Amino acid sequence: MGNLSEIYKITFLNKGKVYEVFVKQVYQSDLYGFIEIEDFLFDELSQLVVDPSEEKLKAEFNGVRRSFIPIQAIIRIDEVEKTGVAKISSGDNVTMFPVSLVGGKAEKKDS
**26-42 confidence digits (pLDDT tens):** 999 999 999 999 999 88
Q: Are 22 and 9 in contact (CB under 8 A)?
A: yes
Reported pTM: 0.72
Tens digit of pLDDT for each residue in 42-87?
876 655 556 777 888 888 888 899 999 999 999 999 999 988 888 8
- Whether the per-residue pLDDT at 97 is higher than 60: the answer is no
> Within a domain: residue 2?
no
> Within a domain: residue 107?
no
Q: What angle do CA 2, 5, 6 make, to 5 degrees?
A: 65
Q: Are 13 and 35 in contact (CB under 8 A)?
A: no
C-alpha 94: how far from chain center? 14
Confidence of residue 1 (pLDDT cuts 50, 70, 90): very low
> Within a domain: residue 98?
no
> Within a domain: residue 44?
yes
- Count structural domains, the chain: 1
> Within a domain: residue 36?
yes
Please give the pLDDT value at position 11: 96
Q: Are 10 and 61 in contact (CB under 8 A)?
A: no
> Within a domain: residue 81?
yes
Domain that holds residue 17: 7-90
